[in-house]
């Protein structure tokens, strides 16, 4: 019942706790990802991007934050922007399986072929991609 009321009011008490934690430690990706996921689930992608950009301001180059931001961009159909972020992150860690898989999925979502580097056999459901950032 409490969850229904908080959802109806638009903010979850856990969201407030995560926001407070991020104010104290702006580079805390462990709080930013669940908050971004919750915001995305409530169809607030701009708020999710704002949270992730805040983390990236405090911790530029954080691979999990970059991945999470790209996932949100992909979710919004902004595949080219997402792919640029994946490329940036992959330049720092070319063997990272999370980044490689999400990049390939982004390419597939945009409709690119395997000839450009996508491997459709390793794709996973986009809804779980942000969870893998954790």
* Model confidence pLDDT, tens digit, residues 16-56: 788 877 788 878 899 899 999 999 998 999 999 999 999 99
Q: Give the mean pLDDT of the chain.
A: 80
- The answer to whether the CB of 129 falls within 8 A of the CB of 71 is yes
Domain ranges of the chain: 2-132
For 16-59, the DSSP string reads HHHHHHHHH-TT-HHHHHHHHHHHHHTT-HHHHHHHHHHHHHHS
CA-closest candidate to residue 55, choices 41, 67, 40: 67
pLDDT in tens, 49-90: 999 999 999 999 999 999 999 999 999 999 999 999 999 999
Coil, strand, or helix at residue 127? helix
2-132 folds as 1.25.40
CA-closest candidate to residue 18, choices 54, 70, 64, 46: 54
Looking at beta carbons, which pairs linking 73-78 to residues 24 or more positions away fall under 8 Å?
Answer: 73/49, 74/102, 74/105, 74/106, 74/109, 74/126, 74/129, 75/40, 75/45, 75/126, 76/45
Q: Could you give phi then psi for residue 74, rounded to 5 degrees?
A: -60, -45
CA-closest candidate to residue 55, choices 84, 31, 80, 86: 31
More confident residue, 96 or 131: 96
Give the global pTM: 0.73
CA-closest candidate to residue 51, choices 37, 36, 38, 62: 36
């Amino acid at each position: 019942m409490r969850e229904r009321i908080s959802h109806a009011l638009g903010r979850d008490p856990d969201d407030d706790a995560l926001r407070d934690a991020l104010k104290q430690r702006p580079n805390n990706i462990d709080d930013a990802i669940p908050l971004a996921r919750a915001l995305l689930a409530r169809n607030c992608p701009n708020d999710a991007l704002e949270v992730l950009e805040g983390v990236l301001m405090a911790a530029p180059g954080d691979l999990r934050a970059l991945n999470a931001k790209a996932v949100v961009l992909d979710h919004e159909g902004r595949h080219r922007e997402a792919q640029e972020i994946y490329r940036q992150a992959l330049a720092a860690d070319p063997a990272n399986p999370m980044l490689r898989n999400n990049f390939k999925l982004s390419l597939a979502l945009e409709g690119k072929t395997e000839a450009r580097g996508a491997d459709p056999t390793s794709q996973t459901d986009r809804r779980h991609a942000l969870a893998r950032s954790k």
